[in-house]
Amino acid sequence: MSREMIYALLAALSFGIAPIFEKLGLSRTEPTMALFLRAAVTTLLVAIYLFFSERGTSAAVLDLKSLIYVLLGGVFGVLFAQFFYFKALQFGDVGRVMPVVGSFPVLAFLLSVMIFGESVTLGKALGVLFVVTGVILLGD
């Protein structure tokens, strides 16, 4: 199995486990506080990792344009997405919320076609159809 597939499966496993803990935690915590705690712990752990690794020096070569894109990705991917995700979990069932949240590859695919000119193939179109069908079936 390739390295990227191992990492992708580990990410999927982590994304699959996390909502259970988050739903339990949101029973007595507001989403804004949960988001703050999650960000604080993540920042601390990444800072420790960077401190003890050579990768921490790579931030020095980050140009302004790349920095802006990374920060915008953080605003949308961490701040907005996590806040709305926590609000959805607070009010909804994990089994209904997660399929909708997990449909983000459809939007990412459509945007990548428009912005980067990525190709639309039959396989990719079927993939989008399957994701949308899965969201509908799991949300039922």
Residues 2-39 pLDDT 10s = 999 898 899 889 988 999 999 999 999 999 999 999 99
Q: Which residue has the tokens 């003890």?
A: 52
- Say yes or no: 55 and 80 in one domain: yes
Q: Which residue has the tokens 């607070």?
A: 90
Domain count along the chain: 2
**Structural domain contains residue 96:** no
Q: Do 88 and 44 form a contact (C-beta atoms < 8 A)? A: no
What's the distance, CA 106 to chain centroid? 13
Decide which of 90, 112, 129 is a domain's last residue. Answer: 90
- Say yes or no: 27 and 86 in one domain: yes
CA distance 60 to 93: 43
Instruction: List the domain range (segments joined by +) for residue 108.
Output: 103-140
- Say yes or no: 73 and 108 in one domain: no
Distances (CA, A) of 24 to 10, 52, 93, 117: 22, 33, 11, 41
Q: What is the pTM of this model?
A: 0.78
**Structural domain contains residue 37:** yes
Residues of the chain with pLDDT under 70: 55-61
